[in-house]
Amino acid sequence: MSTTDNTFPDVPPLEWSAQLATGDARMDATHEEFVQLLAALRALPPEAQLEPYRALIAHTEEHFAREERWMVAVGFAADNCHARHHAEILDMMRKVEQHHLQGDTDIIGRMAAALAEWFPIHAQTMDAGLALHMRQVGFDSNTETLADPSRVRPATMSGCGSVHCS
């Protein structure tokens, strides 16, 4: 067990599993990459975490931007709650980097543990809901196109694409 795991024994390692799958292959591949980056980060001692954490931030920025493009394409308002949730997570991740640079060397480990707790819920609710909606309207995440654009009314949805959020 690594130093980080000893520091946060109540947060088990996050591993990719079928329970995290949304049913959209491209989304699931991105999520699996996120889980792998997070697991690798959590396995490192605090003094080796900064650069892998920065890579996780960059991955997450691309990941969220892609999902937000998809949301707009399938009829979500640009400022929907799912996108706001993404913005809050990214803001927190960036602040953690700044705190680390100011000398709080354990903060990346704490954030990584928090992300390991947060991600399954986000994937199983907001992202699974988005993936379901994308399938229902005929959106292809690989080409980022709609089979029939008339099936979507632009910017009409303000929820997060989940039955758990209206």
Domain that holds residue 63: 25-136
How many domains is the chain built from?
Answer: 1
CATH number of residue 57's parent domain: 1.20.120.50
In a domain, 155, yes or no: no
In a domain, 9, yes or no: no
* Cα distance between residue 157 and residue 28, in whole Å: 23
In a domain, 29, yes or no: yes
In a domain, 90, yes or no: yes
Distance from chain centroid for Cα 124: 11
In a domain, 103, yes or no: yes
In a domain, 36, yes or no: yes
- φ, ψ (nearest 5 deg) of residue 144: 55, 45
What is the pTM for the complete model shown? 0.87
* Cα distance between residue 120 and residue 25, in whole Å: 17
Query: How does pLDDT run along the chain (166 residues), one tens digit per residue?
Result: 333 444 555 788 899 999 999 999 999 999 999 999 999 999 999 999 999 999 999 999 999 999 999 999 999 888 889 999 999 999 999 999 999 999 999 999 999 999 999 999 999 999 999 999 999 999 999 999 999 998 888 766 555 554 444 3
In a domain, 55, yes or no: yes
Q: What residue has token string 């399954």?
A: 120
In a domain, 84, yes or no: yes
